[in-house]
């Protein structure tokens, strides 16, 4: 492999003119194993299978269909957010405000609908606009100032965390919002965001369906559309992308807005699943999303990754989180597991990106 | 290989060709700093115009004006005889002026074919289902690269795995495919080894034979002399030399590049400082000799 590639670097023969020649021996096709391993989602797929098998053996209740549905539900609430976070990461940025953004969206919908005594759909729409607005603000500030996204979104993270608590207390006099379950439109919205359906004897949450549908859509966009091409380009080399005419600002700002959309969707799920929202929640979730994306094979520095990888990443999280409970262990171990998985995945990523670009 | 490069410019290109791009006493000031002043230059189709100069001579400013990154503040920039002011690189591209920058404007982790079409992707299908026409793009990229003599078996490999010379050639092939009439190459051989430089020079000759006007920016007079039809040497923002190939020899060119006149002045100054033996220093005319012997045979 390395021999032939070095020969490619030192071209001594004049090029064979015209399209007649098939191969000139200067390059060889990379072996199948290398090409497979260069796919960012392969490592995490193997990891997810390993974790699944591990808990199948060590925690007998996991083998039950109902437990599996529960694990998938846990995974989906992480996974729906991990998708836009992953796309943003491929685009070279990350969003620390994603976790509190979910709560901000849920609070907005809840309080707008309740305080104005309107149909909950009004609150849902206002929350969507607010979430997209937060995303736009993040992206716009980033492009405008040229600051790293860590700083910009750390700012929005702190602002939202404070605003969530303060405004909720100011309006409701409480740290949680009022129950909206008896308001107009609630059952409709619940059907969309938080219903369940039966598969045989097992009850499956609708978020699992949304999660997989979004993942399929994200994969298609990423690999088969112009916009997907631009995401890889702005994350891989922003200046080169700009030089060949890729609209860098549009791509990055829209990616932040996509994270806003995800935060809105998960926020709506939480609101219609629990009827009220705790204003102090969501802190720390942003790191879970980022970790799921990184475990899913997305390069933290951008330019490489997939939408399928974070699906497996989120599944590993859901699996470990619930598996520990089913195995009867102390749930405190979850964070330790998480750290080990993150480090392991990062090392694999590093090795893979070196192997894939080695010449 | 050396012989293919050193062949004279193709005779097939008509001599009467009007310049595609012309600079007339063009200058550029950044605030109170005059980076470029009174530079005249004309780029003809099927000809290679070499712009040489040391660091800070104004080469970068010159490219930036022609490629639309900066606007000139004096004189004129003419495309097809009409004066223009480019305000974005896109406008220059639309006028057929493509620039291959030193960093090549490629995304290393992306496959070769995606890089080739980046920013100008081919699509098919109606809007909500509009998708990349991957088949056509791969086929076109492969054909275009083969036309430039680059054969890659795996267009899916990240462009970062190609050698520097190959990447440079992909960037040139891309510019040619997207309808460039004028190709600006910013120090394409600066970071390359001798053999890879040879490959790039060959593609410059190919682009020229395809009828493109090439502006070849370099600080290596030997590379310039192999493919150049016209040589412009910049010094401190002004044109020190502007000569066609039959008016200047490689030795003269090297001498201008090495700053022969300045070296003489420096020698004079050093003579005033005690302890420096100026007798040992080379004469003005000699400054070229040590460097001139090496590259011709090996390139």
Find the CATH number of the domain harbouring B226: 3.40.50.300
B54, B235, B257, B259, B280 from B264: Cα distances, Å: 17, 16, 14, 9, 13
User: Strand B131-132 to strand B123-124: parallel, antiparallel, or no bridges (unpaired)?
Assistant: antiparallel
Share of chain A above pLDDT 90, in %: 55
How many domains are there within chain B? Answer: 1
Contact B114 A229 (CB under 8 A): yes
- Residue B261 confidence (pLDDT): 63
Q: What is the pLDDT of residue B258?
A: 73
Taking only the tens place, the pLDDT of each residue in A177-199 is 989 888 888 999 999 999 999 98
Q: Is B140 helix (H, G, I), strand (E, B) or coil?
A: helix
Token couple for A135? 């995303």
Q: Do B1 and A24 touch (CB under 8 A)?
A: no
Within 10 angstroms of residue B271's Cβ, the number of other Cβ atoms is 13
Residues of chain B with pLDDT under 70: 1-17, 103-104, 259-262, 274-299
Smallest CA–CA separation between A82 and chain B, in Å?
22
Q: What pLDDT score does B292 carry?
A: 40
**Mean pLDDT over residues A40-60, rounded?**
85
At A64-101, the pLDDT tens digits run 888 999 999 999 999 999 999 999 999 999 899 999 99
pLDDT for res B260 = 63
What is the Cα–Cα distance from A284 to A107, expressed in whole angstroms? Answer: 18
Residue A201's pLDDT is 85
Query: Between A272 and A333, whose confidence is greater?
Result: A272
Chain A, nearest residue to B174 by Cα:
A244
A304: which residues sit within 8 A by CB, 6+ positions away?
Answer: A40, A90, A232, A235, A236, A297, A298, A353, B109
> Residues A246, A250, A254, A256: what is their CA dihedral angle, to the nearest 10 degrees?
100
The predicted pLDDT at position A93 comes to 95
Please check whether residue B66 lies inside any domain of the structure: yes
Give the Cα separation of B97 and B115 in Å (integer). Answer: 19
- What per-residue confidence (pLDDT) applies to A358? 58
Judge: B146–A19 Cβ closer than 8 Å, yes or no: yes
Neighbours of A283 (CB within 10 A): 14
Letter string b/e over residues B71-91, b meaning 16 or more CB atoms within 10 A of that residue's CB: ebeebebbbeeeebebeebee
A21/B132 Cβ within 8 A: no
Tell whether B57 is covered by a domain: yes
Q: How far is CA A344 from CA A143, A295, A338, A349, in A?
A: 33, 8, 10, 9
Task: Say how far apart CA B196 and CA B217 lie, in whole Å.
Answer: 17
User: CATH number of the domain at A33-357, please?
Assistant: 1.10.3470
Residue numbers in A near B157 (CB within 8 A): 27, 30
Test B118 with A17 for CB contact under 8 angstroms.
Answer: no
* Nearest CA distance, A81 vs chain B (angstrom): 23
- Identify which of A34-38, A149-153, A292-296 has the greatest average pLDDT: A149-153
ipTM of the complex: 0.79
Residues of B in contact with A232 (CB under 8 A): 107, 109-110, 114
The more confident residue out of B35 and A215 is A215
Q: How many alpha carbons fall within 13 Å on the CB side of residue A236?
A: 26
Taking the C-alpha atoms of residue A325 and residue B290, their distance in angstroms, rounded to an integer, is: 78
The structure tokens listed for B261 are 């006149």
DSSP string, A19-75: TT-S--SSS-PPPHHHHHHTSHHHHHHHHHHHHHHHHHHH-GGGGSHHHHHHHHHHH
A224-246: pLDDT as tens digits: 999 999 999 999 998 888 878 88
Contacts of B156 in chain A (CB under 8 A): 35
Contact A233 B107 (CB under 8 A): yes
Per DSSP, which regions of A36-177 are E strands? none
- Running DSSP on this structure, what letter comes out for residue A225? S
CB atoms B161 and A224 under 8 Å: no
Task: Determine which of A139-148, A324-333, A345-354 has the lowest per-residue pLDDT on average.
Answer: A345-354
Judge: A246–B109 Cβ closer than 8 Å, yes or no. Answer: no
Chain A residues within an 8 Å CB radius of B148:
15
Of the ranges A200-204, A285-289, B284-288, which is most confident?
A285-289
Tell me, what's the pLDDT at B103? Answer: 67
pLDDT of residue A107: 95
Dig out the tokens for A35 from the structure. Answer: 């090409």
Residue of A21, A226, A232 with shortest CB distance to B123: A226
Per-residue pLDDT at A30 exceeds 80: no
Domain assignments of chain A as residue spans, ordered by start: 33-357
> If you write DSSP's letter for every residue of B161-174 in order, what string do you get?
GS-HHHHHHHHHHH
Three-state DSSP string of B18-59: CCCEEEEEEEEEECCEEEEEEEEEEECCCCEEEEEECCCCCH
The minimum CA-CA distance between A71 and chain B, rounded to whole Å, is 33
Can you tell me the distance from the alpha carbon of B222 to that of B253, in angstroms, rounded to the nearest whole number? Answer: 9
Q: Which of A15, A220, A359 sits opposite B161 (nearest CB)?
A: A359
Structural domain of B18: 2-96+181-248
Tokens of A62: 């996991």
Q: Is A358 on the interface with B (CB under 8 A)?
A: yes
Chain B neighbors of A300, CB-CB under 8 A = none
Provide the pairing of β-strand B230-235 with B48-53: parallel
Sign (positive/negative) of CA torsion B95, B97, B103, B105? positive
Residue B102, domain member (yes or no): no
In a domain, B129, yes or no: no
Mean pLDDT of all residues belonging to chain A: 86
Whole-model pTM: value is 0.79
Cβ distance A235 to A293 under 8 Å?
Answer: no
């Amino acid at each position: 492999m390395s021999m032939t590639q070095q020969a490619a670097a030192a071209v001594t023969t004049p090029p064979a003119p015209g399209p007649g020649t098939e191969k000139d021996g200067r390059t060889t096709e990379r072996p199948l194993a290398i090409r497979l391993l260069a796919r960012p989602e392969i490592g995490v797929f193997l990891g997810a299978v390993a974790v699944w098998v591990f808990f199948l053996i060590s925690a007998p209740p996991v083998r039950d269909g109902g437990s599996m549905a529960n694990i998938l539900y846990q995974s989906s609430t992480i996974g729906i957010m991990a998708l836009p976070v992953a796309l943003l990461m491929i685009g070279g940025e990350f969003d620390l405000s994603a976790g509190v953004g979910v709560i901000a969206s849920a609070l907005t919908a809840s309080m707008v609908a309740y305080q104005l005594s309107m149909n909950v759909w009004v609150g849902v729409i206002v929350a969507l606009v607010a979430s997209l607005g937060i995303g736009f603000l993040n992206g716009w500030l980033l492009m405008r100032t040229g600051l790293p996204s860590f700083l910009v979104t750390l700012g929005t993270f702190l602002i939202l965390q404070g605003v969530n608590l303060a405004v909720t207390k100011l309006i409701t006099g409480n740290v949680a919002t009022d129950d909206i379950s008896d308001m107009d439109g609630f059952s409709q919205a619940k059907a969309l965001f938080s219903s369940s359906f039966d598969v045989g004897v097992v009850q499956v949450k609708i978020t699992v369906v949304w999660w997989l549908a979004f993942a399929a859509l994200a994969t298609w966009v990423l690999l088969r559309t112009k916009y997907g091409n631009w995401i890889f380009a702005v994350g891989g080399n922003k200046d080169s992308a700009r030089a060949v005419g890729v609209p860098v600002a549009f791509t990055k700002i829209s990616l932040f807005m996509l994270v806003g959309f995800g935060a809105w969707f998960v926020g709506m799920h939480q609101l219609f699943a629990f009827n009220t929202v705790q204003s102090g929640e969501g802190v720390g979730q942003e790191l879970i999303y980022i970790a799921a994306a990184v475990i899913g094979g997305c390069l933290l520095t951008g330019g490489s990754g997939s939408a399928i990888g974070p699906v497996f990443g989120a599944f590993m999280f859901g699996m470990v989180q619930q598996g520990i409970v089913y195995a009867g262990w102390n749930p405190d171990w979850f964070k330790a597991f998480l750290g080990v998985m993150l480090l392991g995945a990062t090392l694999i990523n590093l090795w893979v990106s070196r192997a894939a670009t080695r010449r | 290989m050396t012989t293919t490069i050193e062949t004279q410019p193709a005779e097939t290109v008509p001599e009467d060709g009007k310049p595609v791009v012309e600079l007339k006493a063009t200058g550029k000031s950044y605030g109170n700093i005059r980076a470029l002043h009174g530079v005249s230059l004309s780029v003809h189709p099927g000809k290679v115009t070499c712009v040489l100069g040391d660091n800070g001579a104004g080469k970068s400013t010159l490219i930036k004006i022609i490629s639309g990154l900066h606007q000139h503040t004096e004189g004129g920039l003419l495309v097809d005889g009409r004066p223009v002011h480019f305000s974005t690189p896109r406008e220059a591209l639309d006028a057929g002026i493509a620039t291959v920058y030193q960093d090549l404007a490629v995304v290393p982790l992306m496959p070769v074919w995606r890089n080739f079409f980046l920013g100008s992707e081919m699509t098919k299908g109606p809007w909500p289902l509009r998708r990349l026409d991957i088949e056509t793009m791969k086929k076109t990229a492969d054909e275009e690269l083969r036309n430039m003599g680059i054969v890659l078996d795996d267009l899916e490999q990240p462009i970062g795995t190609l050698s520097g010379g190959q990447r440079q050639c992909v960037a040139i092939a891309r510019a040619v495919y997207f309808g460039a009439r004028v190709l600006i190459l910013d120090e394409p051989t600066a970071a390359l080894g001798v053999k890879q430089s040879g490959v790039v020079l060959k593609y410059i000759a190919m682009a020229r034979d395809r009828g493109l006007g090439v502006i070849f920016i370099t600080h290596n007079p030997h590379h310039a002399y192999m493919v150049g039809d016209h040589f412009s040497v910049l010094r401190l923002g002004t044109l020190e030399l502007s000569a066609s190939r039959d008016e200047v020899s490689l030795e003269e060119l090297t001498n201008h590049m090495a700053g022969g006149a300045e070296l003489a002045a420096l020698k004079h100054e050093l003579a005033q400082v005690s302890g420096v033996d100026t007798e040992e220093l080379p004469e003005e005319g000699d400054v070229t000799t040590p460097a001139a012997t090496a590259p011709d045979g090996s390139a």
